[in-house]
Structure formats: structure tokens, C-alpha cells
Chain A
Amino acid sequence: MELLAFLGQGFVVALEPQHLFLALVGCALGTLIGALPGLGPVNGVALMIPLTFNFSLSATAALILLVSIYYGCMYGGRISSILLNIPGDEPAMMTTLDGFPMAQQGRGGEALGLTGVASFVGALVSTIGLVLFAPMLVDFAIRFGPAEYFALFVLAFATIGGVTGGHLAKSFLAACLGLLLGTVGIDAVSSVPRYTFGWYELYDGIDFIVALVGLFAISECLVFLEDSHQGRKPAMTLGSALPGVRTAWHCRGSIGRSSVLGFIAGVLPGAGAALGSFLSYTLERRWQGARGDFGNGDPHGVAAPEAGNNAAAGGALIPMLSLGIPGSGTTAILLALLLSMNITPGPLLFENQPELVWGLVAALFIGNLMLLALNIPLVGLFARVLRAPGWFLMPMVVMVAFVGVYSLGNSAFDLYMMLAFGVLGYVLRKLEIPTVPVVLGLLLGGQMEYNLRRAMSISGGDWSIIWNSGISVGIYLFAIALLLGGLLFHWLMKRRI
């Protein structure tokens, strides 16, 4: 089979000593960052990007490092959810519902062991799904022209709001703001400066990474200053994580169902891990019905969201790698990394650089095994990080952000820019305007405009090319269907509560 041959080649790439080492470092670092309260995968990967540039790693190596951090954060997020009742990020929120009660009953170690296995299965299922479905999507996408790509970008933006929930208009507003910010700088086609107001620092445009670190890491610190988490200490003794493995076998049905569901949620553009864990938890609660004891430390309620969000994390890599359209904040950052290394994800990537794609996939399999080893026997070590006080951790985060961003261009202007984005991110969060669409807009704006202009120059200025092909009409219809589906879903949820 051709697929297995590719995968075999991938393992050859992933098993190179440097790549193995980076995967291990990434997994450990990711688990550590994920375990810190308030720091999720987006922050973790964002903080590491500037550092990655400095090591002048090859694209494959850099990607393996960052994706290992990404998977690691998804694993680590459960530690602070279960032990402290503080989710590292949105996807980890559902884990607190039954995980924290379990910890309060003195079954914290068991919960960590159980979720370690659940995370492993979820990630494994989605990585297998990635192997099976990404090439199919690639075969389909190879026929896309600029007009279809433009439609695809519209799809990505249309679905961000529908599934992240809340105030729909705010998500779109955020996306438009990001797209507009993305036009700042010298226009690549006509060399006309746009919205630079004579500042030559802006001629290169707003550096995506500077904006990103500001929006996520700096705004996180500002939120942290508001209410100090002091006094929240992991009170209970952990106990061994090994009994959790037996519990996991007991919950195998929940883990299996949630992995598949989470994977599907992850593949949908704009959905991502939060939806994966949310759907998994809700489904499992209905499935167990009266048998379950949800909300009071039911192991099924801990296993389901963890399997779901880890599966979604892998699923979200599919649209990012095969179409170049990220579905979540974290995959957007990975895309940014690739773009800044002059690698454009999409169908051509699979043809031109199979060693990168399949090396990454193989590294995911290996990393997942490493994470299982790190997260079951060694989980107590990571749990110890939670004892470090916030006044020590947060300044460290700030300094890593500052040193990393400064090293990008040795310019203090970048630091001021990052602070400005930090304030912007903080205000947006207070207004409940999501920041992920801003990031996606800023990142994808250039590509979206480029495809629009190419389509227009093909048609000679005739706007109808945008909706003139069957594929693009199909994509628009799919976008509308997802949007309506999301609205219906939220309406149903509201009525339920």
C-alpha cells in the first residue's frame, strides 16, 4: 500500500536522533506548560515560536517540536483542571466538572492515570484519522483554483463564530478586525503602503508572531493580575496513577465514542478542541443516563472530555495541513510557522515535501507514546509544578515572551507592538469578543486577498468568478449549513438549560 510506504518513510525521518530529541523535549515542555494554570496550548506554542526561529531548525524539526508541545499541552491541561479546578484553557474546562470532585475524594491520582490513557487513545485515534483522511482531502483539494480557495477562507471565517458560541456578531467582528489589521504594510502586488501612517516600522506589516504573543501571553498576565490565584493549592495527596489504567479499561466505551466524536469536531473548520470536549461530555452524560453520577466525580465524565479534546487536537491538523486553513488558534500558529519558513501547506505540500508531512505524522505517533510514558508514571512530577507560586511563574512567562520577541528583529518597536496587542487582547476578552478570529484574520488575510486578486485577474475583473464553479458554490453552501447548524445547536442548548 502506498500509504504505508509513505508512513514508513515518515518513521525514518521521525526516528532521526535530533527529531526524537526534539519530540521528547516538546512533549515534556508541553505537558509542563499545559499543567500551569491559565496557560493552554495557544500560549505554550505562541511562546515557543520566537525561540524556534532562533535555533535555525529545519522546517520538519521545528514543526515536530511545536506539534509535540501542542500535544503535550493537551495532555498537561488536565492536571490543573483535575487538581486545582482551574482549566488551562477552554477545552480543558469540561474536565474540571468531574475531575475536581474526583480529586476531592482523594482519587486525584486515579483521575490523572485515567485521563492519561484517555488522552492517549484520543490522540491515537485522531492521528490514525489524519493518516487516512488527509490524503483524501488532498486529492479533492488539488482541483481548487484561486476562487475556490477564496471560498474556503470564507468558510473558515463563517464557521468560527457558529461553533465557538456566544455572540455571533462578535466573532465576525473580530475576524474582520483581524483581516483589516492584516492589510497594514506594503502591498505585495502594487508596492503601495497601506495604513502605515508614515511609520516605516509598519512597512513590513504587523508581525503575526508579535501580535500573537501579545494577544495571548501578555493579555493572560493582565488577567492574572486581576484575581490572584493564591491560596489555591493542590490540597490532597495524589496517590498512584496506576489504578487509573484499570479504570480506563472500565471506561473503554466512553473513551472510544469520545475519541471519534472529538476527531470529527476537530476536523470541522473553526470548531476545534473546545467543541470536541464539550460534545463528548454531553453525549456521555446522556449515554450513561441514570447509571452515571455526573458532576460528582464520575470517571466516565473525566475520561470522555479528555479523549474528546485530544482527538480534536489531532483532527484540527487535517484542514491545516491539507488545505492550509487552520481551524483553531493553535493550528493557526503552526500555520504561521510554516508560512514564515516559506512553506505553504495545502495539497502541493503533500506532493512536494512528503518527508515533512509524513515525518510529522510519524513523530505524532512516537510523541504520543512518549506522552503516555511521561503522563502516567511521572505525572506526580508535573503536578509538583502547580506548587510554584504565580509571582514566580508569571514574570517568567513575560520574560520568555519579551526575550523571544526581541530576538526576532532586535527591535524595541516589536516589544511596544506586543504590549499594544496585549492590551487589545485583554480588552477584547473583557468584552467577550473572541481573540482567535483576530489571529486567523491577521494570518489568513494576505492569502485570502491574494487568491481574490488572482481570481479577479483570471476573470478580468468579473466578480462572478467568485461563485461560478460548482466546488465554490458547494463550499459556500457547506459554510451556510455549518453556520445554521451551529446556531441551531446553541438554540437547543439554551432551551435545555
Chain B
Amino acid sequence: MREGVGALGDRIAGGLLLVVAAVAWWLSHDFTSGFGQAIGPGAFPRLVSVPLGLLSLYLIIHPGVNQRWPERSALFRQLGLLVLLMIYAGLIQPLGFLPTALLTVTLMIRLFGATWRQALPFGGLLTVGLYLLFEFALGMPLPDMPGLNW
């Protein structure tokens, strides 16, 4: 069985979702109805935000079980992955696929637990392999490097 931990997470999530429901309800009144419609664009979001709010309240009062949250070292690895992928998203258009992927894939392999001796060759291998697979075998154009055709 998975180990359960305290219900604080559920309470916080319930609180956040309650705010979401309230904001959704509030904003839905601005969606002004066009003429000739039985119910306007705001009705359905309102209809959904009511049970969302009630269920969030219930979750705050009757929280359930949460899974164990990650340890600090795991949290850093996860943050690292997210930062890495945001860098990829930011660089893919200006730099093109090959340099961006080479950088991120190599660092990602390192992040997932390989040594540098493994990460460097396999990062290159995976990048080139994926490039050949997508660009040529599957015919999906990838962003090119500036000034080059590949």
C-alpha cells in the first residue's frame, strides 16, 4: 500500500479551488448574452462553478489521503527538469532543433541519473537519432538553425 500523509495538501488544494470557483462565478457575469439565446455564455460556467465550489469546501472540511511529497533532492531534480524544458521552449525558435535538443537532452540524461560519461555520448546519439527520425523518416519539419537548412 502507498503511505498516506496528512491532509494539509487537500486543504490547501480545496482552498485554491474554492477561489477558482468564486472567481469563475464572478467573471461569468461579464459574459454578456447575445440576443435570441435562451441561456447566455455565462450560464454553463456558472453551473459548473457551483459544484466546484461546494466540493472544494467539502475537501477543506473532509480532506482525504495524500501521497508522500517528494524529498528535497527529488524536488530539485524536478525543478531542474522544468527549468530545462522551459529553456528548450525558449530556444527552439531562435536557435533551431539541433543545438537546443543537444543541450537539453544531454542535461536531461544527466538529470535522470546517468554519469557525464554516459550523458555526453548518449545525448548526442539521441539528439541525432531523433532528428533523423522526425525530419526524414516521419517527415515532420523541425525548426532549422539560423542561416542553415538543417
Chain A residues in the interface with B (C-beta under 8 A): 51, 54-55, 166-167, 169-170, 172-173, 176-177, 179-180, 183, 187, 189-192, 194-195, 221-222, 224-228, 230, 389-392, 394-396, 398-400, 402-403, 406-407, 410, 412, 415-416, 419, 422-423, 426-427, 429-433, 445, 448-449, 452-453, 456-457, 459-461
Residue of chain A at shortest CB distance from B49: A180
Contact A398 B108, CB 8 Å, known A183-B45, A430-B67: yes
24 A-B pairs (CB sep. < 8 Å): A54-B140, A55-B138, A167-B64, A169-B64, A176-B52, A177-B20, A180-B21, A180-B52, A189-B34, A192-B41, A194-B27, A195-B27, A390-B112, A395-B109, A399-B105, A402-B85, A402-B88, A431-B67, A452-B39, A452-B43, A453-B37, A453-B38, A457-B37, A460-B38
Residue of chain A at shortest CB distance from B33: A190
Whether B62 pairs with A394 at a CB distance below 8 angstroms is no
Whether B86 pairs with A419 at a CB distance below 8 angstroms is yes
> Measured between C-beta atoms, what is the minimum distance from A160 to chain B in Å?
13
In the complex, which residues 111-128 of chain B have their Cβ closer than 8 Å to any Cβ of chain A? 111-114, 118-119, 122, 126
Contact A412 B112, CB 8 Å, known A189-B41, A457-B37: no
Contact A176 B51, CB 8 Å, known A170-B64, A403-B130: yes
Whether A172 pairs with B64 at a CB distance below 8 angstroms is no
Whether B34 pairs with A176 at a CB distance below 8 angstroms is no
> Measured between C-beta atoms, what is the minimum distance from B81 to chain A in Å?
6
Whether A395 pairs with B13 at a CB distance below 8 angstroms is no
The docked-state distance in angstroms from the alpha carbon of A398 to that of B82 is 11
Could you say which residues of chain A place their CB within 8 Å of the CB of B109? 391-392, 395
The docked-state distance in angstroms from the alpha carbon of A415 to that of B109 is 20
The docked-state distance in angstroms from the alpha carbon of A373 to that of B82 is 41
Residue of chain A at shortest CB distance from B2: A432
> Measured between C-beta atoms, what is the minimum distance from B111 to chain A in Å?
7
Q: Does any Cβ of A come within 8 Å of B142's Cβ?
A: yes
Whether B38 pairs with A391 at a CB distance below 8 angstroms is no
Whether B32 pairs with A192 at a CB distance below 8 angstroms is yes
Q: Does any Cβ of A come within 8 Å of B150's Cβ?
A: no
The docked-state distance in angstroms from the alpha carbon of A390 to that of B110 is 11
> Measured between C-beta atoms, what is the minimum distance from A417 to chain B in Å?
10
Could you say which residues of chain A place their CB within 8 Å of the CB of B28? 194
Additional A-B contacts beyond A416-B86, A431-B13 (11; CB < 8 A)? A55-B138, A167-B65, A177-B52, A183-B44, A192-B41, A392-B114, A403-B134, A406-B92, A406-B143, A407-B141, A432-B67
The docked-state distance in angstroms from the alpha carbon of A396 to that of B37 is 49
- Of B81, B126, B141, the residue contacting A221 (CB under 8 A) is B81
Among B34, B41, B74, chain A packs the most CB atoms within 10 A around the CB of: B41
Residue of chain A at shortest CB distance from B23: A195
Whether A194 pairs with B45 at a CB distance below 8 angstroms is yes
The docked-state distance in angstroms from the alpha carbon of A452 to that of B134 is 43
Contact A225 B138, CB 8 Å, known A173-B55, A195-B27, A419-B86: no
Whether B105 pairs with A395 at a CB distance below 8 angstroms is yes
Contact A391 B112, CB 8 Å, known A226-B70, A403-B134: yes
- Of B27, B56, B108, B112, the residue contacting A173 (CB under 8 A) is B56
Whether A173 pairs with B140 at a CB distance below 8 angstroms is no
Among A399, A423, A456, chain B packs the most CB atoms within 10 A around the CB of: A399
Could you say which residues of chain B place their CB within 8 Å of the CB of A183? 44-45, 48
- Of A51, A430, A456, the residue contacting B138 (CB under 8 A) is A51
Whether B40 pairs with A190 at a CB distance below 8 angstroms is yes
Could you say which residues of chain B place their CB within 8 Å of the CB of A176? 48-49, 51-52, 55
Whether B31 pairs with A187 at a CB distance below 8 angstroms is yes
Could you say which residues of chain A place their CB within 8 Å of the CB of B70? 226
Whether B108 pairs with A192 at a CB distance below 8 angstroms is no
Could you say which residues of chain A place their CB within 8 Å of the CB of B56? 173
Could you say which residues of chain A place their CB within 8 Å of the CB of B32? 192
Contact A415 B66, CB 8 Å, known A51-B140, A190-B34, A453-B39: no
> Measured between C-beta atoms, what is the minimum distance from B14 to chain A in Å?
8
Whether B37 pairs with A190 at a CB distance below 8 angstroms is yes
> Measured between C-beta atoms, what is the minimum distance from B73 to chain A in Å?
10
> Measured between C-beta atoms, what is the minimum distance from A125 to chain B in Å?
32
In the complex, which residues 52-76 of chain B have their Cβ closer than 8 Å to any Cβ of chain A? 52, 55-56, 58-59, 62, 64-67, 69-70, 74
The docked-state distance in angstroms from the alpha carbon of A407 to that of B139 is 11
> Measured between C-beta atoms, what is the minimum distance from A295 to chain B in Å?
15
Whether B38 pairs with A415 at a CB distance below 8 angstroms is no
Whether A459 pairs with B38 at a CB distance below 8 angstroms is yes
The docked-state distance in angstroms from the alpha carbon of A422 to that of B85 is 11
Could you say which residues of chain A place their CB within 8 Å of the CB of B141? 407
Contact A432 B65, CB 8 Å, known A391-B114, A415-B89: yes
Could you say which residues of chain A place their CB within 8 Å of the CB of B48? 176, 179-180, 183, 445
Could you say which residues of chain B place their CB within 8 Å of the CB of A457? 37-38
Q: Does any Cβ of A come within 8 Å of B145's Cβ?
A: no
The docked-state distance in angstroms from the alpha carbon of A394 to that of B27 is 40
Contact A461 B38, CB 8 Å, known A183-B48, A395-B105: yes
Contact A226 B114, CB 8 Å, known A180-B49, A431-B13, A452-B44: no
